[in-house]
Structure 1
Amino acid sequence: MTADAAAAALGVARFDARQNSRFEDLADDEREPAELGEWERIVQLLADAPPGTGYDPDTGDVVRAELAADNAAAAREAELREAVQIAVHAYELQALRELGALEQAEPREGDEAVRLELTRRAGGYVQDDVDTWLARNLATHRGHYRGPAAGLLTPPVLAYAALLAELRRLVPNAGIDELAFAARLTTTEPEAAGDLAKLLTHARPAR
């Protein structure tokens, strides 16, 4: 994560904190201060580091230290830790989206839960660009998706990934943007797109 991305994520976190402070049921959310404090620490860390230094949220220990100080039961502590990590990663992806750099994000474990968190923050509306990013990663076996890791991905995302993988196999030289129609098809007719992907498995590339 770059200093610009971290600063953008901090801005999103501060905006959310201001918005949530207006609602009584959200004002006492114990996760928010930990998330905001973590982003402030990351921004300061990168500001003090040599230019070009990056940061990987997975290596940070502040969230774990804060949760370790919690006197709640072990099960609650683990649940809270996971929630914070999901929220931090959601802020990271949101910051990259605002920078127009989502495609640069390396997929990793927990992306499926982050997708649900971003959808929740959007009031339940599906984030098409995030679904497209996930489907492309799954179709190209990138990062976390080098192995079987479908997890909580929805049928349209799975259908898009399957169809995209088969189209890329049949037309290896096609650019990813040339196959954008597959996303539209799977959004409106996920079952039909899945059936088409299965049918294409029997096709052979032209020689």
Structure 2
Amino acid sequence: MNTSDGWRPLDYAKVGRSSVRRRARGMTHSEAVAALEGAELDAHLARRDEAAADDGGRRAAELAEWQRVVQLLAAIGGPYDPDADIVVQEELAEDRRRQEAEQQHRQEQQQIADRADELAALAGAGRLDRTVASRPGDEAARALLDNYDYRVAAVDDWLAHALATHSGHYAAPDTRATAATLLPAPVRARAALLAALARTGAPVDGDLEFVGRLAQADPDATTALAAWLDNAAAVKGGAA
């Protein structure tokens, strides 16, 4: 399973600003003023040309950037140096932060996809059992298999057992609470019933295929049954 890098539409306004900064490098204030006047003339002519007006906002961004450069040079003198322009450097720093975040996201998505492949392969080979510890991100990996991979049923059974027995990363209470928002209702219901059955002393390591069928057919009723079993056990324990 492969993840795509995604596609980002071209930011014409950003292209326009970058173009102005390249052309403005080394300009004095008077030279920038002349360039601004030329940009204003181009914008005026373009307003009468419908084809030229459809530029994705680039022309307006160029005009605004020339205006900013002129104001900057009027305040600090010249020549213009984008490397010393605080606005430019802040934008570049933000671009780097966004690129790093996107790269991290792509890596995380690829790791999830790889884990989904691993779980599916183990399930297909009949080796997805308690010897395989659950770990953070398994809920997202399971979601990738949903609706297109028949092996997701075995993954659901494995996750339900891990959640019921608090094994793997479900040993942490916070992680079990988070699972309630990440796993489908049938998986949570199956885990609840398995845990309730275990608290009655019944073995839950054998073939309990009926638990999965109940949870899939009616998660709410399955969860209610689990609560009833827990209450019954508590009453019995109190009476004893």
Report if aligned partners of 1:119, 1:126 keep a CA contact under 8 Å in 2: no
Q: Which one has a bigger Cα radius of gyration?
A: 2
The reply to whether residue 144 of structure 1 matches residue 175 of structure 2 is: no
User: Quick one: distance in 1 between partners of 2:152 and 2:116?
Assistant: 12
The reply to whether residue 90 of structure 1 matches residue 116 of structure 2 is: yes
Larger helix fraction of residues: 2
User: Quick one: distance in 2 between partners of 1:138 and 1:96?
Assistant: 18
Alignment gaps of 5+ in structure 2: 7-95
The reply to whether residue 158 of structure 1 matches residue 184 of structure 2 is: no
| Cα offset, 1:30, TM superposition | 4.8
Q: CA RMSD in A?
A: 2.8
The residue aligned with 1:5 is: none
User: Quick one: distance in 1 between partners of 2:182 and 2:217?
Assistant: 20
State the identity %.
Answer: 40
Alignment gaps of 5+ in structure 1: 1-12, 18-25, 32-69
| Cα offset, 1:98, TM superposition | 2.6
Whichever residue aligns with residue 127 of structure 2, its letter is A
| Cα offset, 1:76, TM superposition | 0.8
The reply to whether residue 180 of structure 1 matches residue 209 of structure 2 is: yes
The reply to whether residue 79 of structure 1 matches residue 82 of structure 2 is: no
The reply to whether residue 106 of structure 1 matches residue 106 of structure 2 is: no
User: Quick one: distance in 2 between partners of 1:193 and 1:107?
Assistant: 23
Structure 1's consecutive aligned runs of 4 or more residues displaced over 6 angstroms after TM superposition are none
Write out aligned runs for 1:28-67 (5 A): 29-30=4-5
The reply to whether residue 119 of structure 1 matches residue 146 of structure 2 is: yes
Whichever residue aligns with residue 170 of structure 1, its letter is T
* CA deviation profile, 1:6-56 (whole Å, cap 9, x unmatched): xxxxxxx6xxx8xxxxxxxx9xx459xxxxxxxxxxxxxxxxxxxxxxxxx
Residue of 144, 160, 172 corresponding to 1:135: 160
User: Quick one: distance in 1 between partners of 2:223 and 2:110?
Assistant: 34
Q: When the two structures are superposed, what TM-score results if normalisation uses the length of structure 2?
A: 0.52
User: Quick one: distance in 2 between partners of 1:71 and 1:175?
Assistant: 49
User: Quick one: distance in 1 between partners of 2:171 and 2:144?
Assistant: 23
Q: 3-state DSSP class of the match of 1:109?
A: coil
User: Quick one: distance in 2 between partners of 1:78 and 1:130?
Assistant: 26
Report if aligned partners of 1:107, 1:144 keep a CA contact under 8 Å in 2: yes
Q: When the two structures are superposed, what TM-score results if normalisation uses the length of structure 1?
A: 0.60
